[in-house]
């Protein structure tokens, strides 16, 4: 499978981290976490997540709330409040 291509630079992107978690929000709050890989353009620094797990690795229930509290301590500094997903390190797994 080809690597993702940066549209700005016309270059293939490189793996920055395998096995990150992407947290999706519903209207009422945190909902599901999917495993994914983080790719980065070495020229301009643009990053994307691809290669999502077929099913969420965690979703909203009582256990999810506890796991979320733990995972938030390792939240990526790349989080943007203007989008509905955040990247969370799963290195503890």
- The footprint of Zn ion (CB under 5 A) covers 6, 8-9, 41, 43-44, 46
Minimum distance, C-beta of residue 16 to Zn ion, in the bound complex (Å): 13
Residue 26 vs 50, nearer CB to Zn ion: 50
Closest of 49, 53, 93 to residue 70, by C-alpha: 93
Minimum distance, C-beta of residue 13 to Zn ion, in the bound complex (Å): 8
Residue 45 vs 77, nearer CB to Zn ion: 45
Residue 44 vs 50, nearer CB to Zn ion: 44
3-class SS letters over the chain: CCCCEECCCCEECEEEEEEEEEEEEECCEEEEEEEEEEEECCCCCCEEEECCCCCCCEECCHHHHHHHHHHHCCECCCCCCCCCEEEEECCCC
Minimum distance, C-beta of residue 36 to Zn ion, in the bound complex (Å): 19
């Amino acid at each position: 499978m080809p690597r993702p291509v940066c549209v700005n630079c016309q270059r293939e992107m490189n793996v920055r981290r395998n096995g990150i978690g992407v947290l999706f929000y519903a209207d009422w709050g945190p909902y599901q976490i999917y495993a994914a890989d983080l790719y980065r353009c070495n020229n301009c620094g643009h990053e994307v997540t691809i290669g999502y797990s077929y099913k969420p690795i965690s979703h909203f229930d009582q256990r999810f709330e506890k796991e979320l509290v733990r995972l938030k301590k390792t939240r990526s500094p790349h989080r943007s409040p203007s989008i509905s997903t955040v990247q969370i390190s799963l290195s503890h797994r």
